[in-house]
Amino acid sequence: MAKKNGPVKPGNQPENEKTRSLQPHTADATGEWMTTDHGVRINDDQNSLKAGERGATLLEDFILREKITHFDHERIPERIVHARGSGAHGVFKLYKSQAAVTKAHFLNDTETETPVFVRFSTVAGSRGSTDLARDVRGFAVKFYTQQGNFDLVGNNMPVFFIQDAMKFPDLVHAVKPEPDNEMPQAASAHDTFWDFISLMPESAHMIMWAMSDRAIPRSLRMMEGFGVHTFRLINEKGEACFVKFHWKPLLGVHSVAWDEAQNISGKDPDFHRRDLWDAIESGAFPEWELGLQIVPEADEFKFEFDLLDPTKLIPEELVPVQRIGKMTLNRNPDNFFAETEQVAFHVGHIVPGIDFSNDPLMQGRLFSYTDTQLIRLGGPNFHEIPINRPVVPVHNNQRDGFMRQTINKGKTSYGPNSIGHNDPEQAKSADGGFTSYQERIDAKKVRARSKSFFDHFSQATLFFNSQSEPEKNHITDALSFELGKVKTIAIRERMLGILSLIDLKLAANVASALGLPVSKAPQQPINHSIPADGKIADYQPLIVKSSLKSSAALSMANTVKDTIKTRKIAILAADGVAADSLNLVKKALVAAGAVVELVAPKLGVIKAADGSGIPVDQSFLTAASVLYDAVYVPGGAKSIAVLETEANAIHFLNEAFKHCKAIAADQDAIKVLEATYFSKKLPKDAADETIRREGVAIGSDAAKLAKQFIMAIAQHRFWEREKPRKVPA
């Protein structure tokens, strides 16, 4: 019996079929007695059982033994890749039926809200590594549909490093910490990674993405997602088309600066996890639209690249992305381990209406996921873990194994059977039974790669050409940083050769940073995918040019820039601050959906000039500019006098400027700005009352200032100030 009849669960979040199905598995100790795992109440959880107060502990202490034994076994193997992740529950709602192309119910019925569980992750780092590592982000979505689970296990980049699953262990061994000294953690900037990459020209396109700012997102909520492989959709008539899946974030695609990312890693290694958690807790639910790029079967060979090659994307200019529904993440997990850690995604979890293609990377994944989960989750019954269960019933003749939860009734666990009415019965296609797409295959069994996979550079160049100038600079800097950390000169040189096949200027700029001559493009990049008995001439990587010069969707410069929702703004203030302008600007920011924090020399309450008390959220010790998107300095003579001599405040501003963030100050607070390094570098063309160029707004009319500031924050960053106005912060 419960100690008191307290609530079992706070029931704080939206209900759906999956949430309800999780309820019976949740436990809440509010108002309960402490018990052993077997339900016996414990009356002393402080002391072990001893032979006298100063005597040895007795083996019969079953309470101590149980507690320690459980503790000893609390860890499970972390994922070999994507170990560090953050999860959330939500729903998917379809805008318009897609019955013409797929019979998948959740893509047909606009009335149904399909529950989802999403896990975002970095790839290379361990479970405890930093969120802001330069890395690809995993974007895995489990749809609990009425036809069973569909997992869309994608990334935040639309292509991949390699073309064939055979090379995946090599790729991962190369990027993981080096085996002799287990360094570096969660970083690709080391010899083994670039050694491998420089020998694998097929990675060229993905390397451009990984060296771009996509690898250092501002928020998990501000990333695109991609299914990467070409899948198939099948309609009721059995007709198929090819499809690429996309997730488009409604807040736009935004990133941080590399120097900022490195700082965040120290100041708050949980930055992305916290950001996702806080947004959902505060009701600012992250949203993405699901997009489809549909290619009729007849168009399979229409493109300059092979649809089955996972190092290629389909430019949106060639096949537009149709936005067909919206995913909203609206509930944080109750328990990280039970949900985010134990969730098991699988690219092979598909439902009728969706099917695979012959992408050789995807085909290899079909084996890997269950295999790794068998060991990670301890046996063949991990589908019974609550987070992994579908919302529809499961019936088959699979039985037993470690940790079996289901108590299957009846005598039969085989089919056909006569004594159990031959149940469970297989479903015909008309009854919703899954049937594989009847692809015609007439082929020789070979261990080879299609020649249509040997253009490795056209889309790497297309990606680079599609970037804005600041984005190009960031790629150049990222490559210079990463290769600068590589100790073996021959690897750097080999990479310069690869880069010169992508863009000569890029190669020249990186070469200059490395103090090396620009290498000549290698005649024949080393490529181990050439079969031993193949004629090298047959496999020359094609140096072709994409017929598209650039593709707008590939640049983050073209993303949504009309909202400041969920952006974090710091207000720097001290005793004597002008409460009226502080309150007015703060109110305007909050009304526009931003999260505002007051940062002061110390915690507690500051006393404003008008005598009012304003609670402080962070001190200069606990806060850092890299944890905010913008900063505002209100007026007030005393406050200004403190801040202009407070090194932490000046550093805060210099650093915010360095990372190209919007900055606002009341006219009289200009003195604080004048104490910064960048004030000398500010364009002096603006009088008061106006926004200065490049995202620095100063004015005495607080309402007008707030408006200018909001417009500037919505721009996200003023990258154009980065190079000409460098700040030593």
Active-site amino acid positions: 82, 155
Residue closer to ligand HDE by CB (options 172, 711) is 172
Site string for ligand HDE, 340-379 (x = CB under 6 A): ----xx---------------x--xx--xx--xx------
The strand pairing partners of 118, in sequence order, are: 88, 141
Under the criterion CB under 6 A, does residue 383 sit at the interface with ligand HDE?
Answer: no
Q: List the Cα angle 487/490/494 in 5-degree steps.
A: 115
Under the criterion CB under 6 A, does residue 81 sit at the interface with ligand HDE?
Answer: yes
Residue closer to ligand HDE by CB (options 153, 518) is 153
Residue closer to ligand HDE by CB (options 165, 672) is 165
The strand pairing partners of 241, in sequence order, are: 233, 296
Residue closer to ligand HDE by CB (options 230, 555) is 230
3-state secondary structure of 572: strand
User: 241 φ, ψ to 5°?
Assistant: -140, 165
Residue closer to ligand HDE by CB (options 154, 470) is 154
Residue closer to ligand HDE by CB (options 203, 654) is 203
- Out of 90, 115, 125, 138, which residue is the one contacting ligand HDE (CB under 6 A)? 138
- For ligand HDE, which stretch binds (CB under 6 A), given 43-51, 148-156, 606-614, 708-716? 148-156
Q: Residue 174's closest CA among 201, 190, 200, 192? A: 192
Per the listing, tokens 């210099």 go with 654
Give the dihedral of Cα atoms 480, 482, 485, 491; nearest 10 deg. -90
- For ligand HDE, which stretch binds (CB under 6 A), given 9-17, 80-88, 127-135, 447-455? 80-88
Under the criterion CB under 6 A, does residue 336 sit at the interface with ligand HDE?
Answer: no
- For ligand HDE, which stretch binds (CB under 6 A), given 19-27, 74-82, 478-486, 705-713? 74-82
Burial class (CB in 10 A: 0-12, 13-18, 19+), 618: middle
Under the criterion CB under 6 A, does residue 126 sit at the interface with ligand HDE?
Answer: no
In angstroms, the CA 349 to CA 202 distance is: 28
Cβ contact 451:539 at 8 Å: yes
Give the 3-state DSSP-derived string for 652-707, with helices as H, strands as E and coil as C.
Answer: HHHHHHHCCCEEEEEHHHHHHHHCCCHHHHCCCCCCCCCEECCCEEEECCHHHHHH
In angstroms, the CA 173 to CA 180 distance is: 12
> Residue 52 CB, nearest distance to ligand HDE (Å)?
51
Q: Where are the alpha helices (DSSP H) in 61-112?
A: 62-72
In angstroms, the CA 350 to CA 370 distance is: 14
Residue closer to ligand HDE by CB (options 229, 659) is 229
Structure tokens at 55: 């005597």
Q: Residue 540's closest CA among 530, 549, 532? A: 530
Structure tokens at 575: 């005793």
Residues in the chain: 729
> Residue 33 CB, nearest distance to ligand HDE (Å)?
36
User: 131 φ, ψ to 5°?
Assistant: -70, -30
- Out of 107, 133, 140, 660, which residue is the one contacting ligand HDE (CB under 6 A)? 140
> Residue 228 CB, nearest distance to ligand HDE (Å)?
4
The CA radius of gyration of the chain, in Å to the nearest whole number, is 29
Q: Residue 715's closest CA among 630, 604, 601? A: 630
Query: What residue type is 582 in one-letter code?
Result: L
Query: What residue type is 289 in one-letter code?
Result: E
Residue closer to ligand HDE by CB (options 226, 620) is 226
Under the criterion CB under 6 A, does residue 76 sit at the interface with ligand HDE?
Answer: no
Under the criterion CB under 6 A, does residue 232 sit at the interface with ligand HDE?
Answer: no
The closest residue (CB) to ligand HDE is 138
Structure letter (DSSP) for residue 679? G
* Distance between start and end Cα atoms, the chain: 61
Residue closer to ligand HDE by CB (options 140, 280) is 140
Under the criterion CB under 6 A, does residue 163 sit at the interface with ligand HDE?
Answer: no
- For ligand HDE, which stretch binds (CB under 6 A), given 77-85, 331-339, 431-439, 706-714? 77-85
> Residue 205 CB, nearest distance to ligand HDE (Å)?
13
- Out of 90, 125, 148, 154, which residue is the one contacting ligand HDE (CB under 6 A)? 154
Strand segments, DSSP code E, in 271-427 are 287-296, 322-331, 354-355
Residue numbers 449-478 binding ligand HDE by CB under 6 A: none
User: 221 φ, ψ to 5°?
Assistant: -80, -10
In angstroms, the CA 437 to CA 442 distance is: 15
Residue closer to ligand HDE by CB (options 168, 277) is 168
In angstroms, the CA 373 to CA 345 distance is: 9
Under the criterion CB under 6 A, does residue 82 sit at the interface with ligand HDE?
Answer: yes
In angstroms, the CA 151 to CA 356 distance is: 12
In angstroms, the CA 329 to CA 221 distance is: 10
> Residue 79 CB, nearest distance to ligand HDE (Å)?
4
Under the criterion CB under 6 A, does residue 168 sit at the interface with ligand HDE?
Answer: yes
Residue closer to ligand HDE by CB (options 224, 493) is 224
> Residue 116 CB, nearest distance to ligand HDE (Å)?
13
- Out of 88, 94, 116, 165, which residue is the one contacting ligand HDE (CB under 6 A)? 165
Structure tokens at 585: 């600007």
**Beta strands 148-155 and 696-699, pairing class:** unpaired
Under the criterion CB under 6 A, does residue 263 sit at the interface with ligand HDE?
Answer: no
- For ligand HDE, which stretch binds (CB under 6 A), given 152-160, 498-506, 550-558, 643-651? 152-160
- Out of 16, 18, 79, 662, which residue is the one contacting ligand HDE (CB under 6 A)? 79
Under the criterion CB under 6 A, does residue 121 sit at the interface with ligand HDE?
Answer: yes
> Residue 370 CB, nearest distance to ligand HDE (Å)?
8
- For ligand HDE, which stretch binds (CB under 6 A), given 42-50, 75-83, 329-337, 655-663? 75-83
Under the criterion CB under 6 A, does residue 630 sit at the interface with ligand HDE?
Answer: no
- Interface residue list for ligand HDE (CB under 6 A): 79-82, 85, 119, 121, 138, 140, 153-155, 160, 165, 168, 228, 344-345, 361, 364-365, 368-369, 372-373
